[in-house]
Chains A and B, each alone.
Chain A
Amino acid sequence: MRSATNDNSGNRLTQMSSKDEQIDGTPYEGSRVEQSNREVADLAGQEYKYGWSTDIESDTFARGLNEDVVRAISARKGEPEWMTEWRLQAYRAWCGMQEPTWAKVRYARPDFQAISYYSAPKQQENPKSLDEMDPKLIETFEKLGIPLNEQKRLTGVAVDAVFDSVSVATTHRDILGKKGIIFCPISEALREHPELVKKYLGSVVPRGDNFYAALNSAVFSDGSFVYIPKGVKCPMDLSTYFRINAAQTGQFERTLIVADEGAQVSYLEGCTAPKRDENQLHAAVVELVAHAGATIRYSTVQNWYAGDEEGRGGIYNFVTKRGRCEENARISWTQVETGSAITWKYPSCILKGDNAVGEFYSVALTKGCQQADTGTKMLHVGKNTRSTIIAKTISAGRGDSSYRGLVHVAPTAANARSYTQCDSLLIGSQCGAHTFPYLDVRQPSASVEHEASTSKISEEQLFYCQSRGIRPENAISMVVNGFCKEVFDHLPMEFAVEASKLLSVSLEGSVG
């Protein structure tokens, strides 16, 4: 059902139904307006800084997917029998599912038999110390700005480094362990803490949830597991850095974060991949469980390889992220999405308990031929639940971005409140931005607001800046950073600085 109902509190309800907001009169396909004078258009090919690859010997499965492959992955991981069975059921569910086509993205469908589902650098898994690690791996992460040596790391952030299908190192485990915090590769958690994994895995994103979640459930090879015990505030930010290296492989990571009653944790995620001409699939699942009174902040800076100017290559980023909040719990998703050829991603919150709070702060940038269809779902179930959605979309070049969001207020969610603000910024005249808000309100005491705006960096604005001595590149980056400020304010400090730089670099050359 896609309709909004009442607005008892007297709040504005500006957008009533699903609607493709067509910006600046430019139809999406076909007619692209050409402008004759100097235009704020096309992006010159900004070099992707992380496009190199590491030459490392790896243990890679032959391409293709069937039950034997699923069993083999499970065996490689030394998983218990129930887990193998769990995967097989996911696989069987997936076999009967169709790839979703409702998103506003166009791409060649991946050939799922042409992908290798497991690739791991040849080394001892989970080495006890950095000495046991292949120096090439240490070097790779160092080059990415993610030193694995704890002494070299910025204080206050522990990292789990995932290289293709496996976690290669997790730092700061001793300090965390003293507080009873578990932060380890999920494959290790399956061996060391099977009762926890069994209890929570698939409890937020069921294995048959959607096509990509089912695929992930069948073949996921690694990712991070976090458990924060009751009442514990995690003393440092936890982070996972995902690196795709091998060609023709998919990356299917699985992240599970459980904050027990009253616990608090801030988690960061970063990602990069080499430049390759073929598309690569990244289908992740992230599940968050916030028990009563717990808080989870989940921040992402996504910078997967986006493909070249003509749209060759780049990562298909098809991700399912969802969190469940019990009473008085809070989950806050903050994402800065600048990479990937195709992004399909809707970090969501199930506000199950009374007074639960869900937040979604997003910046999505598309340039070149990138396409993004991203947004969130806020499902209000408990009483007095609140959600806030701030989505900023920036489109440059021939980029095309859509915001797609659902606010659902169940009959049980008395006095639920939700506020959505979607802002689009267009740079040049060949890009597109669209908003698809779905409101489904079934509780008369709820208040649901939606506001949307579209702006364009105009010739007039650029000239105004130039007339004050400001170069057009800097003018764009100034406007873009101003536009994103509300979202950046929700990122941990270091991440905010990085995100701001990343946007400026991504937009370099966006002035024709």
Chain B
Amino acid sequence: MLEIKDLRAAVNGVEILRGLNFSANAGEVHAIMGPNGSGKSTFAHVLSGKAGYEVLPGSQVRFQGRDLLELPAEERARLGLFLAFQYPVEIPGVTNANFLQTAANEIRESRGLDKLDALDFGDFLREKMAYVNVNPVMADRFVNHGFSGGEKKRNEILQLAVLEPSLAILDETDSGLDIDALRIVSEGVNKLRSPDRTFILVTHYQRLLSYVEPDFVHVLYKGQIVKSGGKDLALELEDKGYDWIKEEVDSNG
């Protein structure tokens, strides 16, 4: 469902993603780990179509049979791609409920489905809030406005539950969560796992992966996937850190 070949992207003339190869099938959970500044968020942003990145020629990304790189961000979302932000954005004046209704309806419309009115959507939203354990009062709060760090992350999971994407990229959703919240968020992700939903979990911590068991673990370093393995790789990294991988890569390169 996702196939990436030789993805190269630059910011302000500096190449951050430097020939990244990656592929995922429906229903798989992939963890991406890697040192700070290695390009994980950049990878997530480039996939979801954020402006300001120069994608270099030769890069290929196919998603659901489409050339992802030529689509504007909103069309990627309608195609089923979702990004849970490392730093969720505040939108004062717009309630979560209104925001999600607008989003859900635009996605529905693009798929030829009828729009949901405020009442029907309200029911749907309440159901999803209960499902991922988010306090119903959050529906009427402005999007992420004044939310605590942890509340913002949990709000991202709520959006994921509402928008039902086929590919969900979670950029450090586990960072900044307290122990209970981490468990709740992990449970949410586990509930949302399904044979036709793929997850890419960007994380620094093995802890998340002990709750949400990944099928694959990858290490992103200097803009490339330099190592891939099963869930044991994460344990190994937890134990040994990144130095041994960095040495391997730096001596080969």
Residues of chain A touching chain B, judged by Cβ–Cβ distance below 8 Å, are 37-38, 455, 458-461, 463-472, 474, 478-479, 482-483, 485
Contacts and interface: CB of A to CB of B under 8 A. Distances in A.
A104 B165 CA distance: 50
Interface string B76-120: 111000110100111111110011101100110010000000000
B203 interface: no
Contacts of A458: 89
B95 A482 contact: yes
5 contacts: A463-B50, A468-B159, A468-B163, A469-B110, A471-B106
A479 B74 contact: no
Nearest 8 pairs of A and B residues by beta carbon: A482-B93, A466-B73, A469-B77, A468-B103, A464-B89, A482-B94, A469-B107, A466-B74
Given A37-B52, A38-B52, A469-B106, 17 more contacts: A461-B91, A463-B50, A463-B89, A464-B85, A464-B88, A464-B89, A465-B103, A466-B72, A466-B73, A467-B49, A467-B82, A471-B74, A478-B94, A482-B91, A482-B93, A482-B98, A482-B142
B107 A479 contact: no
B14 interface: no
B78 A469 contact: yes
B206 interface: no
A482 B140 CA distance: 12
A468 B143 CA distance: 13
A483 B89 CA distance: 16
A472 B51 CA distance: 13
Contacts of A463: 50-51, 73, 89
B48 interface: yes
Nearest to A472: B74
B51 A461 contact: no
Nearest to A485: B93
Contact of A461 (B89, B102, B163): B89
Nearest to A486: B93
A496 to B, nearest CB: 15
Contacts of B78: 469
Nearest to A457: B91
Contacts of B76: 467
Contacts of B52: 37-38, 459
A483 B92 CA distance: 8
A460 B89 contact: yes
Interface in B27-78: 48-52, 72-74, 76-78
Nearest to A482: B93
Contacts of B48: 467
B58 to A, nearest CB: 22
B51 A478 contact: no
Nearest to A425: B93
A152 B186 CA distance: 59
A301 to B, nearest CB: 21
Nearest to B83: A467
A455 B94 CA distance: 13
A390 B107 CA distance: 35
A464 B84 CA distance: 10
A461 to B, nearest CB: 5
B77 A466 contact: yes
Contacts of A459: 51-52
A463 B85 CA distance: 11
A470 B93 contact: no
A460 B90 CA distance: 9
A454 to B, nearest CB: 12
Nearest to B44: A467
A482 B91 CA distance: 9
Contacts of B142: 482
A470 B52 CA distance: 19
A40 to B, nearest CB: 11
Contacts of A464: 85, 88-89, 91
B159 A38 contact: no
Contacts of B88: 464
Given A469-B77, A469-B78, A479 B91 contact: yes
Contacts of A472: 74
Contacts of A461: 89-91
B93 A483 contact: yes
A469 B92 contact: no
A479 B106 contact: no
B106 A470 contact: yes
A466 B88 CA distance: 13
A38 B54 CA distance: 12
A465 B99 CA distance: 8
A106 to B, nearest CB: 31
Contacts of B90: 461
Nearest to A483: B93
A476 to B, nearest CB: 11
B70 to A, nearest CB: 15
